[in-house]
Structure 1
Amino acid sequence: MFFYIWLVTIFAALWLYFKDAYSRFTRYGVKQLRPPPPLGNMGRILFRMEHLADHLQELYNAFPEERFVGRFEFTNPMVIVRDIEMVKRITIKDFEYFLDHRTIVDERSDPFFGRNLFSLKGQEWKDMRSTLSPAFTSSKMRVMVPFMMEAGTQMIEELKRQMRDGKVDHLDIDCKDLTCRYANDVIASCAFGIKVNSQFEVDNEFFMMGKETVSSFNFNQMIKFFVLSNFPNVASRLKIQLFTEETKIFFKSLVSKTMKDREINNIIRPDMIHLLMEAKKGRLLHDEKTIKDTDAGFATVEESVIGKKKIDRVWSDEDLIAQAILFFIAGFEGISAAMCFTLHELAVNPEAQDKLVQEIRENDMKNGGKFDYTSIQNMKYMDMVVSEVLRLWPAAIALDRTCNKDYNLGKVNSKATEDFYIRKGEVIMIPVWAIHHDPKFYPNPTKFDPERFSDENKHKIHPLSYMPFGFGPRNCIGSRFALCEVKVMLYQLLQHMEVVPNEKTRIPARLSTENFNLRMHGGHWLRLKLRK
């Protein structure tokens, strides 16, 4: 009897606890999908039944009259913003209330991943943004194009070699592997100053370390990610870390050795390591765009006043290593995903591919078979294609911000009678994927239609409804680099190869629930054929 009394007491206490926790929104009239305890709205994601992007779109579409809705990660409340004018308030006007991302990797236990630009908070983030911003201007990207072209040449040569050896005129490949290897070689050269040929040397250490760090973001790492972000104290006591000790040692050794060698031998190479070393010495200044400099495209985000501010702060070598690791992660996974989905859309929309190839050929004729940063940025249809891919398949599924002081979000809808206050420490999320797929902003949103971004139509796009690289001062610092790399890869590949579907191509495409990253269910299988 004593046992049963305790059992009933425990269940009653849990019931009261969950009832109170999950009433955070309903008591103020904020709509939500029912959050079954103890996982909240995370169940279908954790059990790999639904991708986060599809989950957020379902929530976004469920309550079309609401300005914002509620969601729970376990018992932690999160506000999902639906109203794009509110997005502007949060990311720009009242930015100081929502300055930081939520903590995922604690800098005390993992400084190399916890002190990068994405993870830093408050004034430290502002200072690091100001320090790094000059490294990502158009003039700095211009000198990195040859490094990208070199990686592209390696890719084309290896594809042709495989065709010659196999005595075939086509290859059926998983484009995720192809683009990861290309992105790996670009980031190795542009960020770390080393030459790698991952297309030929398939198991080289740099690529395998990248694959382990980023690409294999499997179910176990998903669990770690949500424990780290939702239960930091538990994660700290259990010493849970997202990345292995081997990964940290590899990158620390690589960056430290490279910087030391350059200091001793006075080596200057116009890559990210050089720029970081210049930043540490206070020599990296924010140069304004000149007449000859062209933005990387419609999706390019502008630097804010914060990024253009000059500071005198001195950073440690560990801080610089943390930034180099961030460049690698973003370059390896995010950019390769954009390339994969671009190739898929061109394969299943051959008319768009033909039009882009024609533009490439015209550029070749005009420039004697050569291209550079300026010429590739002046290709209008290329930019239309890439802009539409980033709308349809945005790598940043959602933007998160932590509220650092109680904030009045206003009324949840036109019929509400009282305002809703988000509390300090609570998280808001801006569902980029769902907004990009809202027919209110993009008619027939699942259709791949580059014409949305033509000179005749792009003025119709609400600027707050398109944010593949984020919005406001905390936008993606590397948008120019990413866009430039995707375009260089497309230019070189389509010069030599035709991209078509094969028997394994997934039509229509849908996201895999096996991985937290943006991956296609069944793989990114396509056929590459030699152009005649």
Structure 2
Amino acid sequence: MLFLIWLAVATAALVLYLKEVFSKLRKQEIRHRPTVPLLGNSAGVAFRLEHMTTALQKSYEAFPDDRVVGHYEFINPLILIKDLELLKNVTVKDFEHFVDRRAFGDIYDPLFGRNLLLLKGDDWKAMRSTLSPAFTSSKIRLMVPFMLEVGDKMMEQIKKNLDNAKCGYIDVDVKDMSTRYANDVIATCVFGLKVNSQREDNEFFKKVKEMSNVNFKRFLKFVGFRSFPALMAKLQIRLLPANISRFFSTIILGTMRQREKNNIVRNDMINLLLDAKKGSLSHDHGSTDTTAGFATVEESNVGKKKNDKEWSDNDLVAQAMLFLAAGFETISTSLSFLLHELALNPEVQERLVQEIRENDAKNGGKFDYTSIQGMEYLDMVVSELLRMWPAAPLIDRICVNEYNAGKPHAEATKDFIVQKGQSLTVSIFAFHRDPKHFPEPNKFDPERFSEENRQKIKPFTYMPFGLGPRNCIGSRFALCEVKVMVYQLLRVLEVSPCPRTCIPSRLAENTMSLRLAGGHWLRFSPRSYD
């Protein structure tokens, strides 16, 4: 009897708690789709029936004329911005009200928690201004030879596999291939290491794969950190195993100390972090930071300010680990989707190949940072790729000072007041697939980004690298890496669908990452030069 009484009390308490939780958005007159107890609008995600971006897109589309809409990420209420003026205010005009981002990992981890994405307030501003000079065009230009070297190794392995094939073609899991390519570029451009993951699963590659693997257990941790950060900290739950942090910390600190001791200079991120530690990393005087393409985001005044703050070794290691985590998954995802779209759109592929051949003829086969920036159609293709398949499909901002966002919709009786600590979310994926902003959004059409048509794109509707001062600091690096890889591959290989290719394109439901159902399988065959 006593057990039944306690069970009834606990059940009643849970019901009251859930009732309070799922009434938060309604009290602010923010409309949302019907919810499922405990799971909110994420039931499909929890049961692996739909991808997270699909669930957010459904909420985005549920109330076409609302300025903001609600979405329950399990029991955590999200507020999705739809109104362009509000989006501009939150990300740029009134940025000081929304300086911070939501936690997505262990903010108390002395390494992971000190990276640029998780830093808040003045610490973030200081770190952003410290790192900003490391991602200028002049710095990225010096890393292109490292990217080309990695690409050459990839092409050598593909050629070897083609030579061993008896049918004149090979079917390739391009996500695996792109993952290995991105791993080796990060290894050389950030860590100063030369590895060949196309040939073997080296220890560096194994640790990176382990770090980036978002299995169901890590997914639950991710949700916990976003919904209950204080509880996760109290329970001392870590997003990443301690052995992974130790592995990369040992490599980074060891490399830094060796270079300091032997006065070794190499044009990579480790060298730039050493300059940051010495306070000698600064923007190039008298030079203009050129664009790396239409999708490039510009640095704000926050990043251009002079900063004299001294950083610890752990602070710098945290940034190197961020470059690894951010660059590894996003680049490999972008490359695999780009090759997929080129295979499904052969007319786009052939036009791009023609531009590559013209560029080779013009420059005598030489390929560098300058020549790649002159390839207009390549930039159009990559820009459209990032519209359809943005590697980071959502961004968010935390309110640090109470903010009046106006009425959430025309029928609302009061303004929506964003409280301190409350977050606002932007579904980049949904914005990019909104037919009001991009007609026929599910069609891969690089012509949207031609010189004539790009002027028609509404400001703040295209944001593959985010918006405002907290945009992606590495947009130039990412764009350059993607362009280098696809250039090297298409100049000698034709990419086409194979029996295992996912047609029509559909996102896999069993992962938080952007993946195609069944994998990213494509066919490679030698390109003819008729």
TM-score with structure 2 setting the length:
0.97
Any gaps of 5 or more consecutive residues in structure 1?
none
- Match in the other structure for 2:95: 95
Taking the aligned partners of 1:2 and 1:243, their CA distance within structure 2 comes to: 42
Deviations 1:421-452 (A, max 9, x none): 12211211011100000000100000000000
Higher mean alpha-carbon deviation, 113-122 vs 241-250, is at 241-250
Taking the aligned partners of 2:235 and 2:510, their CA distance within structure 1 comes to: 25
Is contact 2:133–2:281 with CA below 8 Å preserved after alignment? yes
Q: 1:452 aligns with which of 435, 448, 454?
A: 448
- Match in the other structure for 1:56: 56
- Deviation of 1:77 (Å): 2.1
- Deviation of 1:72 (Å): 2.1
- Deviation of 1:156 (Å): 0.5
Q: 1:261 aligns with which of 238, 258, 262?
A: 258
- Deviation of 1:344 (Å): 0.3
Counterpart secondary structure, 2:223: helix
1:282 equivalent in alignment to 2:267: no
Q: 1:358 aligns with which of 354, 359, 367?
A: 354
- Match in the other structure for 1:67: 67
Is contact 2:99–2:398 with CA below 8 Å preserved after alignment? yes
Amino acid corresponding to residue 16 of structure 1 in structure 2: L
Counterpart secondary structure, 2:20: helix
Taking the aligned partners of 1:288 and 1:18, their CA distance within structure 2 comes to: 57
- Match in the other structure for 2:201: 203
- Deviation of 1:2 (Å): 5.3
Taking the aligned partners of 1:237 and 1:470, their CA distance within structure 2 comes to: 32
- Deviation of 1:27 (Å): 2.5
Distance 1:37 1:285, change over 3 A: same
Deviations 1:125-146 (A, max 9, x none): 0000000000000100110100
Taking the aligned partners of 2:313 and 2:400, their CA distance within structure 1 comes to: 29
Deviations 1:481-522 (A, max 9, x none): 000000000100001110000000011111111111111110
Taking the aligned partners of 2:72 and 2:364, their CA distance within structure 1 comes to: 57
Tell me how large the CA RMSD over aligned residues is.
Answer: 1.4
Taking the aligned partners of 1:440 and 1:288, their CA distance within structure 2 comes to: 42
Taking the aligned partners of 1:107 and 1:396, their CA distance within structure 2 comes to: 20
TM-score with structure 1 setting the length:
0.97
Q: 2:341 aligns with which of 345, 369, 388?
A: 345
Counterpart secondary structure, 1:70: strand
- Deviation of 1:288 (Å): 5.8
Amino acid corresponding to residue 93 of structure 2 in structure 1: K
- Match in the other structure for 1:221: 218
Taking the aligned partners of 2:344 and 2:166, their CA distance within structure 1 comes to: 26
Deviations 1:266-286 (A, max 9, x none): 100010000000011111111
Taking the TM superposition and a 5 Å limit, the aligned residue runs for 1:171-250 are 171-200=170-199, 202-214=200-212, 216-250=213-247
Taking the aligned partners of 1:71 and 1:162, their CA distance within structure 2 comes to: 47
- Match in the other structure for 1:27: 27
Amino acid corresponding to residue 144 of structure 2 in structure 1: V
- Match in the other structure for 1:135: 134
Amino acid corresponding to residue 238 of structure 1 in structure 2: L
Taking the aligned partners of 2:278 and 2:185, their CA distance within structure 1 comes to: 26
Amino acid corresponding to residue 396 of structure 1 in structure 2: A
Q: 1:465 aligns with which of 461, 467, 491?
A: 461
Is contact 1:228–1:240 with CA below 8 Å preserved after alignment? no
- Deviation of 1:44 (Å): 1.8
Taking the aligned partners of 2:225 and 2:6, their CA distance within structure 1 comes to: 32
Taking the TM superposition and a 5 Å limit, the aligned residue runs for 1:111-510 are 111-200=110-199, 202-214=200-212, 216-287=213-284, 290=287, 294-510=290-506
- Deviation of 1:405 (Å): 2.2
Counterpart secondary structure, 1:225: helix
Taking the aligned partners of 1:46 and 1:378, their CA distance within structure 2 comes to: 45
Amino acid corresponding to residue 205 of structure 1 in structure 2: E
Is contact 1:185–1:197 with CA below 8 Å preserved after alignment? yes
Deviations 1:27-80 (A, max 9, x none): 332101122222222222122111111011100000001000112233332211
Taking the aligned partners of 1:144 and 1:294, their CA distance within structure 2 comes to: 16
Distance 1:288 1:32, change over 3 A: farther
Deviations 1:203-245 (A, max 9, x none): 101111111111x211111111101221123322332211112
Amino acid corresponding to residue 219 of structure 1 in structure 2: F
- Match in the other structure for 2:16: 16
- Deviation of 1:343 (Å): 0.2
Is contact 1:41–1:71 with CA below 8 Å preserved after alignment? yes
Amino acid corresponding to residue 323 of structure 1 in structure 2: Q
Distance 1:212 1:5, change over 3 A: closer
Quote the sequence identity (%): 56
Amino acid corresponding to residue 337 of structure 1 in structure 2: T
- Match in the other structure for 2:78: 78
Taking the aligned partners of 2:443 and 2:206, their CA distance within structure 1 comes to: 36
Higher mean alpha-carbon deviation, 449-458 vs 417-426, is at 417-426
Taking the aligned partners of 1:318 and 1:70, their CA distance within structure 2 comes to: 38
Is contact 1:139–1:289 with CA below 8 Å preserved after alignment? no
Matched residues, number: 528
Higher mean alpha-carbon deviation, 68-77 vs 327-336, is at 68-77
Taking the aligned partners of 1:60 and 1:244, their CA distance within structure 2 comes to: 35
Counterpart secondary structure, 1:463: coil
Is contact 1:412–1:419 with CA below 8 Å preserved after alignment? yes
- Deviation of 1:158 (Å): 0.8
Taking the aligned partners of 1:49 and 1:472, their CA distance within structure 2 comes to: 34
- Deviation of 1:400 (Å): 1.1
Taking the aligned partners of 1:19 and 1:459, their CA distance within structure 2 comes to: 48
Taking the aligned partners of 2:364 and 2:286, their CA distance within structure 1 comes to: 27
Is contact 1:255–1:321 with CA below 8 Å preserved after alignment? yes
Taking the aligned partners of 1:49 and 1:239, their CA distance within structure 2 comes to: 31
Is contact 2:42–2:55 with CA below 8 Å preserved after alignment? no
Counterpart secondary structure, 1:233: helix
Is contact 2:106–2:237 with CA below 8 Å preserved after alignment? no
Taking the aligned partners of 1:505 and 1:400, their CA distance within structure 2 comes to: 33
- Deviation of 1:14 (Å): 2.4
Taking the aligned partners of 2:74 and 2:418, their CA distance within structure 1 comes to: 18
Higher mean alpha-carbon deviation, 409-418 vs 63-72, is at 409-418
Is contact 1:138–1:480 with CA below 8 Å preserved after alignment? yes
Taking the aligned partners of 1:369 and 1:15, their CA distance within structure 2 comes to: 69
Deviations 1:396-416 (A, max 9, x none): 111011112222111012232
Counterpart secondary structure, 1:447: coil
Amino acid corresponding to residue 17 of structure 1 in structure 2: Y
